[in-house]
Amino acid sequence: MEDESCAISVLLVEDDGADMYAAVQAHVATLMALRPRVRAWRIGRRGRYRGSLPGRRPDKASDFDAGLNNILREYFGVDGQSPIYNEQDFETRFRVRRAVFRRGYLSVQDTPFFVRHINATGLQQAQPLQNVVAAFRVLAYGEAEDRADEYVRISRSTIHLSVKSLVRCIVSKWKSTYLRRHND
């Protein structure tokens, strides 16, 4: 055992490091040559949003109409019936009065994002009211987008875009009326 360790130490002492240096240099050169390919592979693996495309895995069944019917029945009333939640409940859940909500909805419903579209697979997307309700819920509570998706039945990414679009529309429309400089 002692003889083996002496032989190894003699070999290490006698080696001037040139072979080790050459091996390390070759390894580094190989890694540098592979770096662009590895980077391209990682970027390719990264999930990119590509929207609805024919032939892709189908989305979850959202049933947009059921989500819209829930919203109308609970907050606005349908078929002449009064809504389930009164004005105070509405204000508690959305942090604005129903009249303010309606005014905001009417001002953004015709913007390109909130108009009801047909996707690439031929199915209709969510109604503008669903997008606005989801955006108001996220803004009112500061909750995550995926928490509101169960109620309004639209995806998390759509809710995120709805919030951004709603805020942009509100700021562009009422900036001069309601936003002002801070006072002392």
Domain of 15 in residue numbering reads as 2-45
Q: Which residue has the tokens 């690439």?
A: 120
Render pLDDT for 42-99 as a digit per residue (tens, 0 to 9): 666 666 656 666 666 666 667 788 888 888 888 888 888 889 899 999 888 888 899 8
Does 53 fall in a domain? no
Examine the domain organization and report whether 75 and 28 are in the same domain: no
Task: Provide the domain count of the chain.
Answer: 2
Examine the domain organization and report whether 72 and 156 are in the same domain: yes
Please give the structure tokens belonging to residue 86.
């009164």
Does 55 fall in a domain? no
Sign of CA dihedral 146, 149, 150, 154: negative
Mean pLDDT of 10-28: 60
State the pLDDT at residue 10: 44
Sign of CA dihedral 66, 68, 71, 72: negative
Examine the domain organization and report whether 68 and 108 are in the same domain: yes
Sign of CA dihedral 100, 87, 162, 117: negative
Examine the domain organization and report whether 75 and 163 are in the same domain: yes
This model's pTM is above 0.85: no
Angle subtended at Cα 91 by Cα 88 and Cα 96, rounded to the nearest 5 degrees: 145
Pair 52, 42: CB distance under 8 Å: no
Please give the structure tokens belonging to residue 111.
């913007």
**Per-chain mean pLDDT for the chain:** 78
In this prediction, residue 177 has a pLDDT band, given cuts at 50, 70 and 90, of confident
State the pLDDT at residue 125: 84
Angle between helices 145-152 and 64-71 (to 10 degrees): 90
Does 54 fall in a domain? no
Does 57 fall in a domain? no
Examine the domain organization and report whether 36 and 98 are in the same domain: no
Does 132 fall in a domain? yes
State the pLDDT at residue 35: 77
Render pLDDT for 133-152 as a digit per residue (tens, 0 to 9): 989 988 888 878 877 777 78
Does 59 fall in a domain? no
Examine the domain organization and report whether 97 and 12 are in the same domain: no
For residues 131 and 40, the model is more confident at 131
Amino acid at position 87, single letter: E
In this prediction, residue 118 has a pLDDT band, given cuts at 50, 70 and 90, of confident
